[in-house]
Structure formats: structure tokens, C-alpha cells
RNA sequence: CGGGGCGUAGCUCAGCUUGGCUAGAGCGCUGCGUUCGGGACGCAGAGGUCGUUGGUUCAAAUCCAAUCGCCCCGACCA
């Protein structure tokens, strides 16, 4: 391809509003262009990279035995009512009505396809002989994101690979799940990503196991907790904390005293007003667990984890109590709840036991207690102590003697054991050999294709631009003839272009009549792995210059055998990239 | 949904506080010339209903109100 025939609008300056490297570089390198908040056009260069990622995903899904199909993006709203998810998704679900003849048809744009695929399978699968089966598609999904951000990382329209497995037994589900897990490792390795599979929260509904595939990046929206010593890694929503033995500091107990704290409701405000560190405060959160109010005590510098709380209480639903409930059970407005004198059940995170002379709400407007002490001023039964908070850096790792670390990450894939939630709701059953009917056991597996690109760029760039791996690069080779008006230079460039194209290599020829500096800057910006410079100077010596994007200095290779040299270099590099794939598969 | 910021040329931005000639710069773009191995230089140009609507005023990019859009922080995220 010649540069002047395609469309690569590179930019020298950073467009307003682009904050993180992947967003800035995708815009500047002419990969994407924004149409509105959360919607981007893929320009030719960006589309080529996207297609390469898509192809890798497709190849590995096929290899793992999954079968491709394509479902509609347009769904009848009624289907979403049958699983209750029209309500559950709420405003994120894009819904609308159209008129047909004289009736109103309610439609949604699919944010995911559990309903559609389960409905499909319910119609066509009846027997255990037809199972197991894993189906997938690569398709645009729609979600009305409340807040699209970070360029292509969080958009309301995005390309997703979603796969669904159907099995007759839990063992079968586990086999299907492991195959997908394995395929994911191969996919992300082939894409050149440094990824980390982590345990993930599987939510109040659905299955019993879930992993997310994360790429560590400071600008990621997710938070992962991991332990270098034990290898434990989990999403912060899921991460357990190892055994804790909170020590009560050996200081004399102070008398309980009420103090005025007018209008001071947050931990930070209380901490500042009373000049005590947040770790000296105990916050009292009032929850409704299956409609019943409970109080949960968390040390002031910690964050409550609602999933842990819900599990500890054995509740199926948990939400923060509304203002009226808080007023009814504490007798005070929001912000002044405390454990002293509460008549509802009280639960506490383990670390609360280590706080002496604590500051707590007084269950009275504009009042807090200081010098509050467990056992003297309020009670929490032993069996009501549990791990109820988010892990923090420095916490003990579960089941080991390591220490947890915390990093931000970008979620690029998710594998999830669903169970029978959808097959039961939508009547997807199979008949076993004994003619017994059972709901089909499902798993679902998603990959954000756009996020593969964003995560790659976010982690693989330098101050000059993108550094593509060969596997995702829009073009593998960029030929830069430095002076297009010198016939011998242009001839050499075109001949090389044709030879490499003939050899099946993706080649871009920068035939623009611009100064060398412009070509070099753009070459670094768009990040094509192998750059071939053809200039009058080296050509006179019978050489062309070859340089990998990640190297500083070019090497000179003889002009007449350049094509073969380049083909060999690419082959060698592809083998190096492939070696990472087997390494990652071996380790799982 | 709560808090904040910004809308002026294709892009990045100045001008607005304190209203007043024909609305500016850099980059980009067009033409000509000189240059030509890391974003060259000169000359001549094209390009803007100052987001939109309404108000105040003799006069609005500038002040006021509403509205639309974009961005950031937080909440939310099957």
C-alpha cells in the first residue's frame, strides 16, 4: 500500500481531551477519530490492527473447538424481560420502539447475548448427544455507558468476542472453561500483551468461578491485588485477605465522651476536626440485607466490600440503607451512625477489633463519641467478625506468608461459569440417557477486541509513539524512500515494496513528497515494527537501512538481497513472538 | 446522578476580567521559488454565522439567562 493512496491523518499536536497515552496515540497516529462521546471511527490503520486482533481471536477460538455464528444486535425487549435483565441492566440497556403496521415493537440493542444464544439453543438442542457445544461470535455490542471515557477503553459501542459453552455436567463445564482459559492465554500472548489472569467476583447470580484477564496499567479502571510470593491474584472486588490478628495497642482506655461535630459527616472531616488519623475511626454502615437493616463496622481508613458482606451475612441482596431507614434505626441523619446503643445486628471487619479509644458516630445529629471501646461500650459477637473490606497494599496474602500488592489494570477478557441461570429462565433443557430433563449448564467468555489494542498501546509505547508487535501491527514493514523525486531511490523502494508484497508481507510505502524528518516522525508515531530507509546516500554504497521500531540504530543490508533479508528477519521475529505463546501455555 | 472545566480557522490556543475600528497567532492547507537523511525557509493566498437561542446595550466573541456538545473527578458498571 502506498501512503498517498490510503488515509492516515497523523497529528502533530495532542487533541484536547485525550489524557491517557493510548487515547493520545490512537488519535495522533490516525488510528481512530471520535464521532461523539464514546463512539469512534476506525480509520484504515486502526481497522487493520483491529482486524489482526480479531483474526487471532478467531483462530484461537476455532483451535479450541468453538464454533462461530453471528447473532442479531437487535433483540426483542420481551426476551430481556424473561430473564429479568431488562430491569437489572436499567439505563445501560439501549431500548427503543419502532412502529410496524399499526403496532409498536419494543427493541433493545444487545449489550451481550446470553438471552439470544440460550433461546437459540433452547430451540435446537434437546439431547445430551448434541452436547457439549461452544458457540461464539465477534460482533458490535451496545451499552449506554453513563460515562464513556479513556478513548476506546470505555465506549458505548464496541467490538466483542463473546462465547458461550453448553454442557451436561459440572465436569463438562469445567472442561469447557479450561479450554477457553487456555485459548485466552494463547490469544493475549500472541497479541504481545503482558497479561495477568486474576480471580474475579462472579456476582450474586450465576456461577461459582470467574477469571478476568488483566493488563497492568496505571490508567486502568480496574484494581487488582496480587502477591508476588504466592502468585495469588484477584480483582479487588474479589480478593481475600489472609489471616489477620489485630493487636490492640497497649494504651490505657480513655473514658467514653461525646463531642460536638456539627455538620461533620465524612471520615475525612471527622478526622480533621478531631485531629485523629482515619485508622482511629470506626465507620458504621447501615445496610439492608434482604430488606433487614444491619450495621457493619469498618475501620475508618478501610473500604467496605459489599460482596464479602453479602456472603458473610448469607444474604441474597444487599444495598446501602436509604435515608429513612438510617434515621429510623440510628435516630440520626446520615453521617452520625455508631455502634453504641444500636438494636440491629452488628457485624465488623477483623481489623475493628484492633482499634482502641475509637471515634464513632453517636447516633445523634452533630455528635460523635471519642474513647469508644469494643467490649466496654459496644459488643460485636465473635461470629460476627469477618473479612468485610477491600484488600489494601501491605495486607497479608490469603493462605500464605506473602504480602499483597495493589495495581491498576485494564480488563481485556473475562471467563465465567454461568451455571443454569439462563437455561432455566429460557427453558434450555436436554434429555439425558435416562430420559430425564435437566437445564443445560452454561459458561460465558468475553474478550474486548478494541481493548486489546488500547491495552497494547497503553503498555507498549515510548515518547515518540506506538511500538507494535508484529502480530497486531497494521503493516509489518514501512518503506521510507527519502527523496521521491530521485528515480533510482523511488525505483528501489517500489521494487522492494512489490517483492515483499509478493512474499505475503503487509508493506506500507511512504511515497509522500515530504522531508525526511516528517517521514521519520510519522514512522515512529504509527509504530510499524520494521522500517526500511532507502536514501541516495546508502543506495550509492549498494545498501538500504533496516531498523526495528524498538532499536535505536539501523543496520545496513545489501540492496539486491534486501527482500530476502527482510523476509528472514520477519520470520525470525515471528518465531520469537510465537515462543512466548508456548511459554504462557506451559505455565498454565 | 453529584461536583468541576471548556466550546473562537482543519488542529492547538490567545483575545473575554474592564463591551467599541476590518477577530488574531502557531501548526496544517493552496500556489510560486529556494531547500532536501529527524517535523526547513521566503513570498503570495484560501479558510471563522466566535456552539446555539434569547436578553441587556447606541454597540456583544466579551455582560446575563437558557440550551446543546465535549472533557475531567466521584457514584454506578450484567
HSE-CB for A374 with a 13 A CA cutoff: 23
Protein A514 CA to nucleic acid B32 C1', in Å? 17
Please give the Cα distance from A120 to A340 (Å, whole number): 56
What's the rounded Cα separation, in Å, for the pair A93 and A80? 10
Which nucleotide's C1' sits nearest to the alpha carbon of A482? B37
Looking at per-residue pLDDT, the higher value among A7 and A327 belongs to A7
CATH topology of domain A9-73+110-240+406-457: BirA Bifunctional Protein; domain 2 (3.30.930)
Tens of pLDDT, residues A531-571: 999 999 899 999 999 999 999 999 999 999 999 999 999 99
pLDDT in tens, A31-51: 999 998 899 999 999 999 999
Residue A217: all three cell numbers together: 496499567
Cell numbers linked to A384: 460476627
Question: What's residue A206's pLDDT?
Answer: 42
Q: Which of A506, A531, A485 is nearest to A522 (CA)?
A: A531
Nearest Cα neighbor of A443 from A208, A233, A235 is A208
CB-based contact A512:A493 (threshold 8 Å):
no
A412 touches strand B (CB under 7 A): no
Give the nucleotide at minimum CA-to-C1' distance from A444: B78
pLDDT tens-digit series, residues A92-131: 999 999 999 889 999 999 999 999 999 999 999 999 999 9
Element (H, E) at A165: strand A157-167
Tell me the pairing of strands A477-481 and A441-448.
unpaired
| Distance between the alpha carbon (CA) of A549 and the C1' atom of B11, Å | 27
A85 Cβ within 7 A of any nucleic strand B atom: yes
How are beta strands A103-109 and A74-76 bridged, if at all? antiparallel
A483 neighbors A513 (Cβ within 8 angstroms): no
pLDDT of residue A455: 96
Q: Report ipTM for this prediction.
A: 0.94
Topology given in CATH for the domain delimited by A475-584: Rossmann fold (3.40.50)
SS3 A137: strand
Note the pLDDT tens digit of each residue in A418-439.
999 999 999 999 999 999 999 9
Place A208 in a pLDDT band, splitting at 50, 70 and 90: low
CA of A16 to C1' of B18 (A): 30
Closest nucleotide to A545 by C1' from CA: B37
pLDDT in tens, A156-178: 999 999 999 999 999 999 999 99
Strand B bases, protein C-beta under 7 A:
1, 6, 11-13, 26-28, 35-40, 69-78
Provide CB contacts within 8 A for A120, sequence distance 6+. Answer: A71
A139 touches strand B (CB under 7 A): no
pLDDT tens-digit profile of A237-255? 889 999 988 888 889 999 9
Measure the N-to-C terminal CA separation of chain A; round to a whole number of Å: 40
Higher pLDDT, A233 or A400: A233
CATH number 2.30.40.10 is the correct assignment for the domain at A257-386: no
**Helices A562-586, A487-502: inter-axial angle, 10-degree rounding:** 40
Closest C1' nucleotide to A114's CA: B78
> pLDDT of A488-519, one tens digit each?
999 999 999 999 999 999 999 999 999 999 99
Question: So where are chain A's domains?
Answer: 9-73+110-240+406-457, 74-109, 257-386, 475-584
- Measuring CA to CA, how many Å separate A22 from each of A28, A131, A220, A524? 10, 42, 11, 15
User: Residue A131 CA to nucleotide B10 C1', Å?
Assistant: 57
Amino acid at each position: 500500500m502506498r501512503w498517498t493512496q490510503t488515509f492516515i491523518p497523523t497529528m502533530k499536536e495532542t487533541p484536547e481531551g485525550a489524557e491517557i497515552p493510548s487515547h493520545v496515540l490512537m488519535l495522533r497516529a490516525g488510528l481512530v477519530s471520535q464521532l461523539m462521546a464514546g463512539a469512534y471511527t476506525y480509520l484504515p490503520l486502526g481497522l487493520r490492527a483491529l482486524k489482526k486482533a480479531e483474526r487471532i481471536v478467531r483462530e484461537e477460538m476455532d483451535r479450541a473447538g468453538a464454533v462461530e455464528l453471528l447473532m442479531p444486535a437487535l433483540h426483542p425487549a420481551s426476551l430481556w424481560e424473561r430473564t429479568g435483565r431488562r430491569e437489572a441492566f436499567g439505563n445501560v440497556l439501549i431500548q427503543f420502539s419502532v412502529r410496524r403496521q399499526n403496532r409498536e415493537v419494543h427493541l433493545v440493542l444487545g449489550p451481550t447475548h446470553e438471552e439470544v444464544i440460550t433461546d437459540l439453543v433452547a430451540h435446537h438442542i434437546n439431547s445430551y448427544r448434541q452436547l457439549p457445544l461452544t458457540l461464539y461470535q465477534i460482533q458490535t455490542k451496545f451499552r449506554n455507558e453513563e460515562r464513556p471515557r479513556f478513548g476506546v477503553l470505555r465506549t458505548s459501542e464496541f467490538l466483542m468476542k463473546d462465547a458461550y459453552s453448553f454442557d451436561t455436567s459440572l465436569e463438562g463445564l469445567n472442561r469447557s472453561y479450561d479450554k477457553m482459559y487456555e485459548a485466552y492465554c494463547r490469544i493475549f500472548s500472541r497479541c504481545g500483551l503482558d497479561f495477568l489472569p486474576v480471580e474475579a467476583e462472579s456476582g450474586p447470580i450465576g456461577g461459582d468461578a470467574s477469571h478476568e484477564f488483566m493488563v497492568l496499567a496505571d490508567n486502568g479502571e480496574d484494581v487488582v491485588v496480587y502477591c508476588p510470593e504466592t502468585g495469588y491474584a484477584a480483582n479487588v472486588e474479589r480478593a481475600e485477605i489472609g489471616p489477620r490478628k489485630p493487636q490492640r495497642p497497649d494504651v490505657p482506655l480513655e473514658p467514653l465522651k461525646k463531642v460536638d461535630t456539627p455538620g461533620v459527616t465524612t471520615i475525612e472531616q471527622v478526622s480533621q476536626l478531631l485531629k485523629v488519623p482515619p485508622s482511629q475511626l470506626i465507620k458504621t454502615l447501615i445496610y439492608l440485607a434482604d430488606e433487614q437493616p444491619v450495621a457493619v463496622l469498618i475501620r475508618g481508613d478501610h473500604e467496605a466490600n459489599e460482596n464479602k458482606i453479602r456472603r458473610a451475612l448469607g444474604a441474597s441482596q444487599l444495598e446501602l440503607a436509604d435515608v429513612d431507614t438510617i434515621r429510623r434505626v440510628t435516630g440520626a441523619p446520615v453521617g452520625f451512625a455508631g455502634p453504641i446503643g444500636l438494636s440491629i445486628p452488628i457485624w465488623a471487619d477483623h481489623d475493628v477489633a484492633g482499634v482502641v479509644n475509637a471515634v464513632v458516630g453517636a447516633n445523634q445529629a452533630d455528635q460523635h463519641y471519642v474513647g469508644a471501646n469494643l467490649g466496654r461500650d459496644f459488643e460485636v459477637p465473635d461470629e460476627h467478625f469477618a473479612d468485610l473490606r477491600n484488600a489494601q497494599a501491605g495486607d497479608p496474602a490469603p493462605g500464605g506468608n506473602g504480602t499483597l500488592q495493589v495495581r491498576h489494570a485494564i480488563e481485556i477478557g473475562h471467563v465465567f461459569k454461568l451455571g443454569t441461570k439462563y437455561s432455566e429462565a429460557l427453558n434450555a433443557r436436554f434429555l439425558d440417557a435416562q430420559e430425564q430433563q435437566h437445564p443445560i449448564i452454561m459458561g460465558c467468555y468475553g474478550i474486548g477486541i478494541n481493548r486489546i489494542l488500547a491495552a497494547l498501546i497503553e503498555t507498549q509505547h515510548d515518547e515518540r509513539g506506538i511500538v507494535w508487535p508484529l502480530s497486531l501491527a497494521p503493516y509489518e514493514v514501512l518503506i521510507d524512500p527519502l527523496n521521491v523525486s530521485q528515480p533510482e531511490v523511488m525505483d528501489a523502494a517500489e521494487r522492494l515494496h512489490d517483492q515483499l508484497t509478493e512474499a505475503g508481507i503487509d508493506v506500507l510505502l511512504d511515497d509522500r513528497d515530504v522531508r525526511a524528518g516528517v517521514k521519520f516522525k510519522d514512522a515512529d508515531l504509527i509504530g510499524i515494527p520494521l522500517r526500511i530507509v532507502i536514501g541516495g546516500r546508502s543506495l550509492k554504497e549498494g545498501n538500504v537501512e533496516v531498523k526495528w521500531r524498538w532499536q535505536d540504530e539501523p543496520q545496513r543490508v545489501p540492496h539486491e538481497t534486501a527482500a530476502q533479508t527482510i523476509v528472514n528477519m520477519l520470520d525470525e521475529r515471528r518465531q520469537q513472538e510465537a515462543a512466548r505463546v508456548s511459554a504462557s501455555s506451559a505455565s498454565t
